[in-house]
Structure formats: C-alpha cells, structure tokens
Structure 1
Amino acid sequence: MKARLCILGAAVILAACNRSPESSAAATPTAAIPASTAKAEAAHDAPAIAWKQAASDADVDAAFARAKADRKPVFVYWGAKWCPPCNQVKATLFNRMDFIERSRAFVPVYIDGDSPGAQKLGTRFKVRGYPTMLLFNADGVELTRLPGEVDASQYTQVLTLGMNAQRPVKAVLADARAGGTGLTPNDWKLLAFYSWETDEQQVVPKDQSAAVLKQLAQACPADQAETATRLMLKAVAAMADHPQPDAKTREKVVAVLADANAARAHMDVLTNNAADIVKALSVDKSAERAQLVDAFNASLKTLEADTSLSRADRITALAARVDLARLDKGQPTPALQAQVREHSARVDREITDGYERQAVITAAASTLADAGLLDDSDALLKANLGKSHSPYYLMSELAANAKKRGDKTEALHWLQEAFDKSEGPATRLQWGASYVSALVELAPQDEKRIESAVSRLFDEAAAQPNAFYERSARSMQKVGTRLVDWNKSKAHAEPFKRLQAQLDGVCAKLPADDAQRAVCTGLLKPKTA
C-alpha cells in the first residue's frame, strides 16, 4: 500500500540516496529563503494551535498529566521540517479554522523528529514514518492513529470520530473480527479511517494487514456503503504484492471510479494506490487491466481538475496517471508528458506558501522524473533550491535523477551536497547514511572517501544523546550493513578496522543498561541467517 509518508528507505529520499558528490564538484549556491517561506514557517509556531513542544519524556508526561487533569484527549503529531507530507499537513490542515477550533478540545503535542529526545520518544510511541498522528484518551490510552493523507476538509470529521470513540481501535477491531455484532456505524468508520500505513504492528502484524482489511470489508454491514467501500479499496490496495484478480471486486472498483461523488470521497485511497489496485485486480497486459486503467484515468483526470482539492492532492492524481502509464513496462505518452510539464510549471508559478511549496514542488519533480522528463525535473528542483526551507530534500531528488541517467559523478555530487546542507541530528544521520550507501554502491574502491564519510557520521552520532534510537538507529544500521557487505571479502580490511575501533569508542560511552548500547555494538557485525 502506497502511503503519503516519509520513511527510512522510502522513494525519493533513500531509494535515490545511494551516493555522494565529488568533493571537487561545484556546489549550487542556496539563495536566501524568501519572506513568503519564512512567514509560512512562523505560522506553525503562531498561537493558533497551542502546541506543546515535546523533546523528552518529561515534556510528554507533563502534557498527559494536564490532559488527565482537564479530562481532555491528547493529539500527538510526529513530523519533520523537510518531510513533504508534513508540510502538506501544515499548509492545508493545521491552518484551517475548523481544526484550530477543534484543537481547543484536546491537548496538542508536537514532536519534531530532530528535537533532542525525539527518537527516544519515537520508541515510546512506536512511530516511524513522518507524519504520524495519534490520539489518546485522557488516561493515556491510544485510541487511534489518524490518516494524514485524507482531504483536509474531511480530517476534522475523522478527528472528531476518534475523540468520541468509547474504546481503542484495537478493541473495536477485535470485536469486528469476532463477528461485528454490536458495532456501531462510528465503530466501522473508526476502522475504515484508521491509519493502517502508520500502524507499526500496534493493531495487526504487518504480514496480516491485507487479510484483515479484506475481512473487515466483507464484514462491514451493507447499509454502511461508503464505509464498506473504503475498507474494500484499502484491502485491494494492500494486496498488490499478492494479486487476487476477482471480477466482482473489479466491478465494484470500476463503479466507484465512475461515480464522481464516490471517487471524491475516497480520493486519497484512489490517488495514492491506483497502480497497486490495478495490479491486485488484473493480470499483466490483459483486457481486464486495460479496462481498469481506462476507468482510473477517467476518474483521475476529474480529480486532477477538481479545484476543491489541494494542489498536492491534484498532482498526486496526475502522478497516479503516470504510474498507470508505466504498468506492464509502458511509458507515458507525449500528451501525458505535456500535461505533466504544464501542471508542474503552473504550480511553481502559483504557490506562495513555503510549506505548500515543499510538499508540491517535490511531488511535481518526482512526477516529471517518473514521466521520463529528467531535464525538466532537474530544472524545477534547481529553480526551487533557494525557495525551500529544506533544500537538501530537493538535492536528494536531483541525485535520484542523476542516477537514473547513469551519471554517478553527478549523483554523488548532489548527495554530498544534501548531506552537507542537511539540518537536525536525526536528519543528518539519515542523509549521512544515504551518502555512505551511495559511496559504497557507486564508488566502492574509493576507500579514502568512504572512510572519511563514515568517520564523520560516527563523530556526529557520538555527539548525539539518542543516535541509536528509532529512525536514527535505522540510519546507523543501514551504514553498518553497507560496510559489512563492502568488506565481505576482506578487501577493505584496514579502513574497516579503523572504523570499527572508532565505533567501539562511541559505544563504550553509552551506559551499559541503555538499549542503544546493543544497537551500537552490533552495527559492524555480520548478520546471521
């Protein structure tokens, strides 16, 4: 299931982040951030929503204590400055008056993934991808995880649904799987709008999610058609890796696509999962696949033109059309490429909000690249480096484009630039890990550069109190895996030995009873089967 989510190893950041720039390559200067961007950044800290900034367990405990005293739920938002979906949430949800008003009824807690204790808090809350939004009752029990990709106008309704829940979604799910007797319409909606993409196995083991969603879709009462449809679509999307072509389900999907109101109501599932749904319900190059692709394209064109949707949602619909064109090893037509060019140029002209720019321009650049328009993607990204509050994300996309061209030098250049410009402790480890991975993949014989990059990363990890928790831990583990593979034949024994000695010094400074110690000491050990 494709989610609008920033996770370690995900598409733009780390699928592309496998290299590092030549130190001698000329860096593209980053211009000053314009006033419009600075104004947008300030908006998140404006008094509209009374965020409780949490950077430690003590901060979180204080927020929950206040919630218990006031008998209010707790809304936890886990995000990062650079993350496009996070910026989309800021641009379209957190500034909405209905959400702001609703926030008076709960204690809003904001955890920036780069705050000092954030990654340890990530372990506490069992969150991984940015953004993740959780809702707790006044007693600190997690009620539900809220989807970040639903239409902003729909979000407050979903939030209210969660706040009014009498039981945690886990308990509701157990009853639904046991037959569903006694579940209310709101109980079923709670399941349909649960953020399965950020569940992190809190409700269902990952390998069971597709089967569970299918079970729910089949069990949902017939008189709750919209809820049942959403569950059905999510179930089908989750089955892309294990297709189950089914004529009856395919007909249901086509019917949803043909109904403008239904397609609009389930826009987020359809646009984010179009190719997955098609793959789950049809065989390669079959007549059924062609019929389903045609139905999707017609619906996606309508959504793309729907000005009641955000720019991010509309370009996601266009990106879905590109994904569909590439199925069965196909390619976008010149007409579709022209539409991608025009759409990308238009949003670049129109956007004035810094948050929205980070969300939409990165999506536009990715869509251009997927459409085979690498030069256009590069031009858009370079034109926006000085307008972005997190240009290193755009640099990672430039690196991805260079790799697609087979230009290792350019790919390495942009990844080193991205690492050099990245900000925040967890973010720097993440971008540094991508840089190291790139060096090992694209320049494995350059021992000096690889050792220098890894040594720099180990130094940064040593200076951080939570370098071996959650996302930061996974970044460091990625580095360790790459280095172990790099030295598998002992061809790089000397630099590997020096790096192991440096890492031993980092690990030795961690308390023996700290869970980070085991993560650290295991980084450069070969993985056993």
Structure 2
Amino acid sequence: MTRHPRIAALAIAWLLAITPTAHALSTAPGVSWQAAEADADVDRAFVQAKAEKKPVLLYWGAKWCPPCNQLKATLFNRADFIEQSKAFVAVGIDGDAPGAQKLGTRFKVRGYPTLILFNPNGSEITRLPGEADAAQVMKVLQLGLSSGRPVKAVLADAKAGRKLGANEWRLLGFYGWETDEQQLLPVAERAATLAQLARASEGADRETTTRLWLKSIGALAEGKAADPAQLPRLRAVLADAAQARAQMDVLSNEAPDLVKALAPAAGAARSQLVAEFDAALKRLNEDATLSRADRLNALQARIELARLDAAKDEPHPKTIPAALLLEARDQAAKANREITDGFERQAVVTQAAYLLGRAGLWTESDELLKSALARSHSPYYLMSQLGGNARKQGRKADALRWYEEAFNKSEGPATRLQWGSSYLAALVELSPEDAPRIEKAAAQLFAEAEKDPGAFYERSERSLKKVATLLGDWNKTPAQAAAVGRLKAQLDGVCGKLDGSDAKARSACQGLFKAKA
C-alpha cells in the first residue's frame, strides 16, 4: 500500500476499457486502455507505438488500491487527459492479471499506482508523480510527451553541471521519486541528490526549485536534522498561499518529516513551526480547487503534526485539540454522506477512516468503515482496516475475525497472497499458541501459490517471503517446529512443480526458507 491511503459514466468506461476484449477496447468512450496480462501484450503495444510513432503510457494498479481509485476519479476521467491520450498508446496492467507480477519485475514497479511514460522505441522517459494533483500530473505528462528525452539522461546532465531548460528541470522536480524503485538513484543517495538539484536549478523555475528542496529535506532519514538556516525558507513557503498550493502534496505527505528535520527538538521553535504549518494545511484543507482526497490529506497531516510529540503508536493521543477532532468527525461524515462515485469512495472513505483512527476516534472510524462495506467494490480492503483498528486497540479476537474475513473475501491471486500474509501476521502476533490455525492459513497460501504462475514475482514473492519469515520467527516449540516442517515439505512440492524453464521462480521458491535461515 502507498504511504497515505488516497467517474460515474466514465467509471463504466474505465472498467470496460481495461477489459481484455477487442470489442471493449474499440467501442468504449474515454481512454482506450489496452489491457496487458503478459509480455506479449506489452510487446504488441510497443510495436504499435513504434509503427504509429507514439509514446506509451503504462499504468500499473489494482482494483482495491485507494490512490489508484483516486487517479480514476480525478485524472483518467478528465477531458484533457482523454484528449491527450490520443497522442499515446495507453497500457493498463491490473496487478491481479495472470502475468502482472512478472511484468512488475520487467518494469521495476512495486507500488500501486505507478505511471511510466516510454518513448516509441521503448525507452523510459519518466515516471509520473501519482501523488500530485491531477492538473500537475497533466502538465508533467505533456512535458514528457513534448520532450521525449529520458529523465535518466536529464538527470545525468544536471549532475554534470550542464545547462538545462525550465521544462527539463520540471521533469526532474515532478518525477515520481516515490515509485522510482532505484531506477535513477539508490535510495541512500536521494536526499543529497535532490538537494544538489535544488541548488543547481536556482533561477530556472521557482516552483521546481522549491519542490526539489522540500523533497530533499523530506527524504532525510528520520531523526536526521537539516541545516537550521533553511528554516526561514520553509516558513516563507508556508506563509505564501500560492507556493503552498503548488507544493500541496509534498507539504501534506512530508509534514512530520519536514518539522522534525528543521525543528528536531520539542520546544518553542517546534511549536511555532507546527502552528505555521497547521495554518498552511488548514488553507489547503479548505481549498475547493483541490480534490476531496487532497483536502483530507491536508487534514490528516494536521493530525499527524498534532501527534508529533505523542508516543509513536499511541491509540488515544491527548495532544489533538478538540476543534481538530470535531473537524475530523465532520469532514469524514460529510464525505461518506456526499460521495456517490465508487472510485472516489474507495479512495476517500478509507482515507477518512484512517485519519479518524490516527485522531483516536476509533468508534467513528469503525462505524464509517462498516457503513461503507456494502457500497465498496473491494470490501476486503475496509475489512483489513477494521482488523487494524481492533488490533491497535487491543481487541485481539475482533482483529483476527476481521483479518480472516478480509482474506476470505479478497479477490485476485496477488491480492489474496498479500491479504493472506497479513492475516498470518496477525495470527502469529495475536494468537501464536494456535498452531493449527496458523498452519492452516500458511498451507492455504502455499496451495494458492501453486496455482499462480506469477506467485514468485514482485508483490506476490514479497508476500510469500513475509510468510516464510513469520513462520521462521514463530518456530519456537516442538508443535510449531512440526507444523513448520510440514509446511516446508508442502512448499518443496510446490517448487518441484514449477516450470523448469522459469529459473527465477524456482530460485525464489526454493530460497524462501533458506533466506530466513
């Protein structure tokens, strides 16, 4: 899942457009997405792109994913995006399609959603910032389409000190760093490189320079202080409504990290910065030009700042002002009452429930999720949130019940492995003595992996690694050791039935328990 949990007639168009039938692709209004389930599907799209001299836009997402649903509700339904889509070949990959996880390995994508723009020859131009607001994403898409120059080459020139134009700086500033997956930079180098780019871009484009600088501060390892001389610069951004609006996604998503980097110690300086930050976020929360999800994201950031000096996982923080609690209640209830679009509901209601929990309003969070279950196209996502709520409050039996129901109701091979590994994690944490139930859950996951040709790739592989790690940590008593032994034998059988030509899958399968050892 992404960091922050984030059309009506066109909603139908989207669902039709990603259905792998020629009829749907040729007749559906809106964007003509071509569904890709295997390498051959993507290869055909690139052949078409080269023949038509068009770029390729690849979208990787999942039905349940709140930020993916946010894109469908705010970007993919825009008239200018639909019109712009005529200039590229649009490829949609559902993470639960048969070969989707193998494609994830091929294109180095992990997080949902990821948007990648390729030139007609198949070289990656850029990764779009899915967390930015739709208008900003459109601008970056248009820049990428007009440039056609890979951002990797642009970055190399920038680091070498070569002169770049304002549009090239914008490609760097609005690159999808959160979905880079180390294509441009190792994670450890990101903060320093972004700071270097911010300095080098001075005078080219103010918005880009500010964005690169803010991201460089936010990318610092938690607990590492930034140069305090930069604090006035952040205050200036917060005080300027236009600048804060332009950087709204960075300010909302990075608020706690920015405060801790520039005011690392609790005290008067931090309190003043938090107050200034809160005022800027309140303006964003009230900005009608932003989507409802973006406005709620600003409200959530206010809650996170109010929690800053509370214990990290404190379920009932006492540091949140009563007025802010009232706003959280009112805005969550309003969203639940007013939203009718299914995509927007999946993005916003789940986000609202999360921020209610972070505010310590567990009853309201639970009630919101339960009221939304029947209207969600992916109710298992909400069930897992209900499980998380119960776990954080110490209600073990309720937590396990919700996690189990979420797993049972989940759909799609990759999703089921992910939800199943979460259910197993809850069992191991909350009921480690229940060896039969733990063995049954793990055995079911291995049985499902046996039927899934993509089980040992990308997200699915990570889910199975999580299962092996959990079992290794759990294996402490004779009864547990016996259960783990039977599960290892089952997994050996799964590995033995894999396609002999798929060395990657066989190696991943055989290495699950060995990696733990």
| 1:398 aligned partner | 386
Relative to structure 1, the CA distance from residue 69 to residue 366 in structure 2 (aligned partners, 3 Å threshold; closer, same or farther) is same
- Alignment of 1:124 with 2:106, yes or no, is yes
Conservation of the 8 A alpha-carbon contact between 1:243 and 1:282: no
Letter in 1 for 2:138: T
Is 2:425 the partner of 1:425? Answer: no
Flag structure 1 segments of 5+ consecutive residues without an equivalent.
Answer: 1-5, 14-35
Pick from 182, 185, 188 the counterpart of residue 204 of structure 1: 185
Contact 2:5-2:66 at 8 Å conserved across structures = no
Equivalence for 2:301: 320
Residues 363 and 11 of structure 1: CA distance in aligned 2, closer, same or farther (over 3 Å): closer
**Separation in 2 of the partners of 1:166 and 1:358?**
34
Equivalence map 1:48-63=2 (5 Å):
48-63=30-45
Residues 375, 236 of structure 1: CA spacing in aligned structure 2 closer, same or farther, 3 A cutoff?
A: same
Change (3 A) 1:527 1:456: closer
User: In structure 2, what residue type is equivalent to 1:436?
Assistant: L
The reply to whether residue 447 of structure 1 matches residue 435 of structure 2 is yes
Q: What is residue 22 of structure 2 aligned with on the other side?
A: none
| C-alpha spacing 1:505/1:38, structure 2 compared with 1 (3 Å) | farther
Tell me which residue corresponds to 1:105.
87
SS in structure 1 at match of 2:90:
strand
For residue 206 of structure 2, the aligned residue among 210, 218, 225 is 225
Match of 1:300 among 267, 281, 287: 281
Conserved? CA contact 1:392–1:421, under 8 Å:
yes
Matched, 1:72 2:54: yes
Rounded Cα–Cα distance in structure 1 between residues aligned with 2:207 and 2:117: 23
Looking at structure 1, the residues matched to 337 and 183 of structure 2 have their Cα atoms a distance apart, in angstroms, of 42
Return the alpha-carbon distance in structure 2 between the equivalents of residues 142 and 269 of structure 1.
24
Match in the other structure for 2:20: none
Count residues in correspondence. Answer: 498
Q: Contact 2:353 / 2:369 at 8 angstroms: preserved in 1? A: yes
Matched, 1:191 2:162: no
- Select which of 246, 250, 254 maps to 2:231: 250
Q: Give, in whole Å, the separation in 1 of the partners of 2:260 and 2:410.
A: 37
Q: Are 1:192 and 1:231, in contact at CA under 8 Å, matched by a contact in 2?
A: yes
Bigger CA drift: 147-156 or 422-431?
A: 147-156
Q: Is the 8 A contact 2:435 2:483 kept in 1?
A: yes
Amino acid at match of 1:268: D
| Cα deviations by residue, 1:52-76 (Å, 9 ceiling, x for unpaired) | 1000000000000000000000000
Q: Using the alignment, how far apart are the partners of 2:429 and 2:512 within structure 1?
A: 18
62, 76, 93: which one aligns with 1:94? 76
- Contact 2:217–2:226 at 8 Å: present in 1 too? no
SS in 2 for 1:328: coil
CA positional deviation for 1:331: 2.3
- SS at the partner of 1:49? coil
Say what the alpha-carbon RMSD is for the aligned residues.
1.7
- Are the equivalent residues in 2 in contact too, given 1:177–1:216 (CA < 8 A)? yes
Per the alignment, residue 66 of structure 2 pairs with: 84
Identity of aligned residues (%): 59
Aligned to 1:23: none
Counterpart code for 1:435: Y
- Does the alignment pair 1:437 with 2:418? no
Could you say which residue in structure 2 is the equivalent of 1:40? 11
Q: TM-score, normalised by structure 1?
A: 0.91
| Contact 1:237-1:273 at 8 Å conserved across structures | yes
* Distance in 2 separating the partners of 1:84 and 1:151: 15
Q: Distance in 2 between matches of 1:444 and 1:12?
A: 29
Amino acid at match of 2:414: A
Residue 359 of structure 1 aligns with an amino acid whose one-letter code is: A
Q: Does structure 1 conserve the Cα–Cα contact (< 8 Å) formed by 2:11 and 2:72?
A: no
Aligned to 2:315: none
Which residue identity is paired with 1:63? A
CA distance in 2, matches of 1:238, 1:386: 39
* AA in 1 matched with 2:279: A
For residue 148 of structure 1, what is the aligned residue in structure 2?
A: 130
1:162 to 144, 160, 168: 144
The 2-side partners of 1:78 and 1:526 are apart by 28
1:19 maps to which residue? Answer: none
User: What is the identity, as a one-letter code, of the residue corresponding to 1:67?
Assistant: A
Letter in 2 for 1:430: Q
Aligned to 2:219: 238
What TM-score, normalized by structure 2, do the two folds share?
0.93
Task: Give the aligned residue type for 2:99.
Answer: G
Which whole-Å deviations, capped at 9, do the CAs of 1:185-204 have from their partners, x for residues lacking one? 11111100000000000000
Q: Which residue of 1 aligns with 2:292?
A: 311
Choose between structure 1 and 2 for higher RCO, CA contacts under 8 A separated by at least 6 residues: 1
Equivalent position SS for 1:235:
helix
Kindly tell me: are residues 78 and 131 of structure 1, through their superposed partners in 2, closer, same or farther at Cα, counting changes over 3 Å? same
Distance 1:283 1:82, change over 3 A: same
Contact 2:104 2:458 in 1 (8 A): yes
Change (3 A) 1:331 1:513: farther
Distance 1:421 1:456 in 2: 14
Q: For 1:11 and 1:110, locate their aligned partners in 2 and report how far apart those are by CA, in whole Å.
A: 23
**1:303-343 deviation line (CA, Å, top 9, x unaligned):** 11111110000000000000000001162112111110001
